[in-house]
Structure 1
Amino acid sequence: MTKNNQLTIRFGGDGNIKIETLTGFLEQYQQILYIINKELGYKPDDLVVEVSPPENGSFKIKLKPKYRTLILEKFGDFAAASLAGLVILYATTQSNNETLDDIRNILEEKQITDKDVQKNVYNVYQNTGAKQNIQQTFILVNNDENITDLIIENKNQKVINIEKSEFKKLIDVNNVTEEIEQKNTEKIKKEAILVIKTLHFEGQAKWGFIFRGYLIKASIKDKDFFETLKTESFRKGDTLKVILSWTKNFDEDLQTYLVDESTYIIEKVIIHKSKVDNQSKLKLE
């Protein structure tokens, strides 16, 4: 049985750690996994998180899909690699301006070479909530005097090995707690696949799309796209690969970000795939 779908967490020291360190650490990792899950378009309870009993200062987090027909069997491997990648970025990057290519180079040095995993890590790392969860795990281990270092293993190899003397430096460099308190609005921009539901060829009316299983309405700012309307046919069910942006606002009562559904904007249309073309290809196969 593959062990790619699990992470091994080792706390250096005499093997004894505070119970609040263990439970708090696991809670933060669970929240990060939910963010990874949501980024892929799944619900939190679609992923089963199992934890082995601590042994000699270490424990294993095992990830697997709840429904075989809903999520690919390899999803647990994907989520485990994504979580490892996020911790690697937190421990190695010095700014929040890394490009996708920068992050791919960092992860490849740690043998995380799957392009889809790299892209997912890049997308999730833009989420200040995920970085705050990772920071909290380092605060927890830094505050436990029994812990001398932190080791994380994936696919039977070390991806993180950090001495306690480095914990405080990482916390200070990645001070996302202060950032999330001050930054009440966050703009997201990323590549997305949209399915056309409603079209508007005149005026400034928003088009309707299905995005990650949800209906959204978005303005289109790509002038080149409107030129293609003169020569290409568009219909319900067609797909667009686009650069999509939207805004999230921090809700003080709920202490989390909420998407402003009125702010979806298509910055650029990269590819248009016709439903008719897709159907024709299916018939030929």
Structure 2
Amino acid sequence: MLHALVVIIEETNERVGDGREISIRVRPFEEGSLEIPFDIILYGGAGLLAVNSVISQILKTVQQAIDLKKSLKGIPPEKLPDESDEQVVNINNSGDNVVIKIAHNRQVSTAFHQAFIEVEKDKTIDSVQLVDNTTHEEIVNISRQEFSFFKYPELTDQGELPEERIRGEQSTLIVHSPVLAGKAKWKFIYEGVVISALMADESFIERVRKRAEQFGAGDRLDVDLEIGEKYDDTTSAYRRTGKYVVSKVLKHSPPPPKQKQKDLFGQ
């Protein structure tokens, strides 16, 4: 669930943020507790009011996107049966395409699908909440009856699924060990874990060879990433096989500058 929140917060920052990078840092929590405290960190110099304004806008948009997924009950807007329905009219005429795009973003949908598959396994969990610890405001509340709205209905409707597949997504990778010669796999930090990936972008490799691309500690690559997955019958979902391919490098950037942060508490 925390991973799903990271994905939707990062996607929202891309669309409504002010251009600065953010990250989520989990703080120590009591063993056995389902309360997970974490901080949203905004990188770059800015006053406290500016930081709070950006993070508040991000959280407000996240709230609206999740509320939209709840109201649609797992059905994409374009597949709703009655175009005269007041709810559909409000969505289509709201002018807030950002919320719709975030709610139905492929990475966001995939992350929530997997998260709620895992959450549903624990019968003691009645709901999932996101709470701002500085204001004690409840930002998100998803009841157990609403968990299914965040999963892919087609996984149970389309019949036989391929045993293995390649899923593509745009990701930000932290360079761990670049390969400056030869065709060995590069190592990156991806979602907090070190992975090995084949670098298939020949034009980027050529720039590396010509020293047009140079690397320092913490450098990041925005990439098109191909992820190998295998269908797991026990969870009715796809799981990663550990095979990664960087098909294209979109941007090479240094690590973000010093950070400002606002405390949040997530449950």
Within-5 A mapping of 1:170-209: 175-179=154-158, 182-209=161-188
Distance in 1 between residues matched to 2:207 and 2:91, nearest whole Å: 38
CA deviations 1:25-64 (Å, max 9, x no partner) are: xxxxxxxx66732635879999xxxxxxxxxxxxxxxxxx
Determine which structure has the larger helix proportion and give its number: 1
Question: What TM-score does the superposition give when structure 1 sets the normalisation length?
Answer: 0.49
- Please say if 1:257 is aligned against 2:238: yes
What value does the CA root-mean-square deviation take over the aligned residues? Answer: 4.6
Match of 1:81 in 2: 64
Deviation at 1:86, TM superposition (A): 3.4
Deviation at 1:191, TM superposition (A): 1.3
Unaligned runs of 5+ in 2: 9-22, 29-34, 43-54, 81-89, 118-138, 140-152, 260-267
Q: May I ask how many residue pairs the two structures share in their alignment?
A: 182
Distance in 1 between residues matched to 2:27 and 2:75, nearest whole Å: 26
Match of 2:223 among 233, 237, 242: 242
Distance in 2 between residues matched to 1:66 and 1:113, nearest whole Å: 31
CA contact (8 A) 2:26 2:36 kept: no
Question: What TM-score does the superposition give when structure 2 sets the normalisation length?
Answer: 0.52
CA deviations 1:247-266 (Å, max 9, x no partner) are: 221212344321111x1111
- Please say if 1:69 is aligned against 2:33: no
Deviation at 1:245, TM superposition (A): 1.3
CA contact (8 A) 2:76 2:104 kept: no
Letter in 1 for 2:224: I
Secondary structure of 1:37's counterpart equals: helix
CA contact (8 A) 2:171 2:223 kept: yes
Deviation at 1:203, TM superposition (A): 1.8
CA deviations 1:145-188 (Å, max 9, x no partner) are: xxxxxxxxxx9xxxxxxxxxxxxxxxxxx644133752433432
Match of 1:92 among 68, 77, 82: 77
CA contact (8 A) 1:37 1:44 kept: no
CA contact (8 A) 2:4 2:112 kept: no
**Residues 274 and 127 of structure 1: is their aligned pair in 2 closer, same or farther, counting only changes over 3 Å?**
closer
Q: Which has the larger radius of gyration?
A: 1
**Residues 202 and 85 of structure 1: is their aligned pair in 2 closer, same or farther, counting only changes over 3 Å?**
farther
Deviation at 1:206, TM superposition (A): 0.8
Higher relative contact order (CA 8 A, sep 6+): 2
Unaligned runs of 5+ in 1: 1-32, 47-64, 96-105, 134-154, 156-173
Match of 2:126 in 1: none
**Residues 226 and 34 of structure 1: is their aligned pair in 2 closer, same or farther, counting only changes over 3 Å?**
closer
Secondary structure of 2:224's counterpart equals: strand
